[in-house]
Amino acid sequence: VVPGTRTEPQTAASVAKTTTEPTGDPPAADPLAWLADHAWSREVAGLRRRLRPRTLTPAADGSQVRVDLASNDYLGLGRHPAIVEGAARALREWGTGSTGSRLVTGTTALHGELEAALADHVGFAGALVFSSGYTANLGCLTGLAGPGDLIVSDALNHASIVDACRLSRARVAITPHGDVAAVTAALAAGGWRRALVVTESVFSADGDAAPLAELHATARAHGAVLVVDEAHGLGVVGPAGRGALAAAGLAGQPDVVATVTLSKALGGQGGAVLGTAAVREHLIDTARAFIFDTGLAPASVGGALAALTHLRAHPELPAAVRRRAGELAALTGAPRPAGAVVSVLVGEPEPAVAAAATCLAHGVAVGCFRPPTVPAGTSRLRLAARADLSDADLTLATEAFAAAGVLAAEVPAR
């Protein structure tokens, strides 16, 4: 209590008095009137974000998505009968929700099974499942870093990593994209108790790969931990889709921690942090995004388990999606992708939106990234390859890219 102030116990009568008596003040101006101005300025800049519900049948105007290059369902598992059945079985057995936080009633035997399967597949001793990849990043970075610590974060890291850095209250050094020398300089400057180096393995917007071996070498040399977001690596990169860390021989190293999402190659929903058993135990004990969040729904757990089983039975799928990504890059003249994501630079937001609309009118759904999701002047089409694309799909995509003006000058013969 501030000295000089007086507190009075609130009784039912005092609450009723304050809430029912008119104050006599004139009505305040609408305190949310600024929202309309804000929306208008975003509209005129061509940046307004809108929801466009996905349809499974032709839309009212007769248009229909025939080729989906916009979703993150890289392996086409999201509607695969075996994965849907895995989710349905868990749903029937456990019900629609997990009923509580993981520490209270939200952990089922299935959660443990999924954690064991993920740890085994990605190559770590332990895994902890979160309700999303976003909360996995929040829990991981806030659990492993705090005031007095340093997080060195790549300038193009995903928003969930950016938010996690802010929430950690550690000092954050943002280094130019892929610049290992800048990471080394940030670590060498000292002044920290503990340090993390955090990067995506395959970048979500540009589709390029992080220099994991070099980042690990400098992190290790300075006694820092390397944290790698494998959201776009799991199921796409590395042997049998084990991820970029496995490909680099870094999975399971004691000074490496990974985060994953279950919502991209695995076709479902949820996320996880992977590391040593001690990392897992520490996050269970301290990560607020884990402790105060309702556990992942059983259907999502069952679906992800079935997707992992399917991936193990079909180790050819990751190579198939990477091959299709390479073909999409060749068609559009985009840089060679490290995984499934192909980034076709357009420049300004309006022509990017127009190109995406033209593709859609030709039955090809593509992503369109504009500021602030990507830096100004780098609006682009984002094409996500899928393992289940057919040659006919690629032909249709070629026609759409030509109409949208994003077909490469020299298209390789297929």
72 has catalytic annotation: yes
93 HSE (CA, 13 A, CB side): 14
177 has catalytic annotation: no
Q: Tell me how far, at minimum, the Cβ of 147 lies from ligand PMP, in Å.
A: 24
Q: Please give the order of strands across the beta sheet that includes 67-69.
A: 67-69, 364-369, 379-384, 341-347
Q: Find the catalytic residue in 80, 111, 222, 232.
A: 232
Rounded to 10 deg, the angle between the 159-168 and 133-144 helix axes is 30
CA-to-CA dists, residue 395 to 25, 75, 362, 366, 410, angstroms: 67, 20, 11, 15, 15
The residue among 134 and 369 lying less far from ligand PMP, judged by its C-beta, is 134
The residue among 133 and 349 lying less far from ligand PMP, judged by its C-beta, is 133
| Tokens encoding 327 | 């073909």
Q: Tell me how far, at minimum, the Cβ of 9 lies from ligand PMP, in Å.
A: 44
Q: Tell me how far, at minimum, the Cβ of 12 lies from ligand PMP, in Å.
A: 43
Q: Say if residue 215 is exposed, middle or buried (CB neighbours under 10 Å; 0-12, 13-18, 19+).
A: buried
232 has catalytic annotation: yes
| Tokens encoding 169 | 């209250």
Q: Find the catalytic residue in 149, 206, 208, 229.
A: 229
Check if the beta carbon of residue 196 is closer than 8 Å to that of residue 145.
yes
The residue among 263 and 358 lying less far from ligand PMP, judged by its C-beta, is 263
The residue among 200 and 393 lying less far from ligand PMP, judged by its C-beta, is 200
Residues in the chain: 414
The DSSP bridge partners found for residue 381 are 344, 368
The residue among 303 and 404 lying less far from ligand PMP, judged by its C-beta, is 303
Q: Tell me how far, at minimum, the Cβ of 340 lies from ligand PMP, in Å.
A: 11
Binding residues for ligand PMP (CB under 6 A):
132-134, 137, 158, 160, 200, 204, 229, 231-232, 261, 263, 271
Q: Which residue is nearest to ligand PMP (CB)?
A: 133
Q: Find the catalytic residue in 72, 131, 132, 201.
A: 72
113 has catalytic annotation: no
Q: Find the catalytic residue in 80, 158, 216, 362.
A: 158
Q: What CA–CA distance (Å, rounded) separates 50 from 203? A: 24
204 has catalytic annotation: yes
Helix or strand or coil: residue 294? strand
Q: Tell me how far, at minimum, the Cβ of 105 lies from ligand PMP, in Å.
A: 23
Catalytic sites, residue numbers: 72, 158, 200, 204, 229, 232, 264
